[in-house]
Amino acid sequence: MSKIKPSKGAPYARILGVGGYRPTRVVPNEVILEKIDSSDEWIRSRSGIETRHWAGPEETVAAMSVEASGKALADAGVDASHIGAVVVSTVSHFSQTPAIATEIADRLGTDRAAAFDISAGCAGFGYGLTLAKGMVVEGSAEYVLVIGVERLSDLTDLEDRATAFLFGDGAGAVVVGPSQEPAIGPTVWGSEGDKAETIKQTVPWDRFRIGDVSELPVDSEGNVKFPAITQEGQAVFRWAVFEMAKVAQQALDAAGISPDDLDVFIPHQANVRIIDSMVKTLKLPEHVTVARDIRTTGNTSAASIPLAMERLLATGDAKSGDTALVIGFGAGLVYAATVVTLP
């Protein structure tokens, strides 16, 4: 018989507060068109994007995270010293170690909170939320801060017609804490590594260490390009539209609800056509509010769901207590979907 005492966590977990930070610089499509042969109408019709935010030198991954987290803590009414863990999802923190989460935890004034980064691309927020729920229920942390943050402008090839217009920067954060009733449903998550080549970094970092740059990509002026995110657009679109609608339905089933029970749908903000197709496939009723934050924020990967959630609540398009389906999907290919009660 085990001598280990049972954990003393909460019965359930919930999102208690949300916060977001968008960089001050707003970049319209006209700026993107300076480097690619396209048009504003083409970009809008293909992606739905009209503008995106790009971070300035002082708007670092850590700085944006601290701003978003401060708002989430205030919204939750939780002091930073009570945060037991900080989970940061990002693919655009360029120091391999230490984790940026440790700096963020310190700058926020947490009391030696556990802190670590995860790399799960556009599904990263869902992964972090699932980990946070487990920590609260298991009892290893009473409150957990989950952050999705990206500076994807640093990983954008402005001469790549397929991706130059897609990406934006920003940070979104939520505080997860104890609940007396279910407020974060079971997570349906997974990966399809056989499709990893459809979204990837153009070249690995170690290619620069080798010293031979003869095979590295170059820009129109002959300069070696910094690694960037590239994707096979049509393959990703088909996968997202057909496979992720199934995952979203599985999340509804796991939570024991139907589309009619939903108030809000917050998918990863990858492409407005993908969002609209998922709405149609899921047969969401007209009363369901659908996040389309991509129009003015672009694709911010791990930050897109919390940023969209924060905007819906701030504008009154969604309200506290609403039932929302959230789903993230992207590089890997990875995905995560769950049903939550909005803070």
Which is the catalytic residue, given 29, 53, 93, 268? 268
Q: Please state, in angstroms and as integers, the Cα–Cα distance from residue 107 to each residue in 39, 65, 102, 125, following that order.
A: 42, 10, 9, 21
Q: Please state, in angstroms and as integers, the Cα–Cα distance from residue 53 to each residue in 25, 28, 31, 157, 244, following that order.
A: 6, 9, 12, 16, 27
164 Cβ neighbours under 8 A, 6+ residues apart: 32, 35, 36, 156, 157, 158
320 neighbors 342 (Cβ within 8 angstroms): yes
In angstroms, the CA 233 to CA 46 distance is: 11
**Tokens 């994707």, residue?**
231
- What is the β-pairing status of strands 25-28 and 114-118? unpaired
Q: Please state, in angstroms and as integers, the Cα–Cα distance from residue 240 to each residue in 125, 203, 250, 269, 330, following that order.
A: 17, 24, 15, 12, 8
Q: Mark whether 93 is an active-site residue.
A: no
Length of the chain in residues, anyone?
343
Which is the catalytic residue, given 122, 223, 271, 287? 122
Q: Please state, in angstroms and as integers, the Cα–Cα distance from residue 194 to each residue in 198, 201, 311, following that order.
A: 9, 16, 35
Q: Mark whether 223 is an active-site residue.
A: no
Q: Mark whether 287 is an active-site residue.
A: no
Active site residue ranges: 122, 268, 299
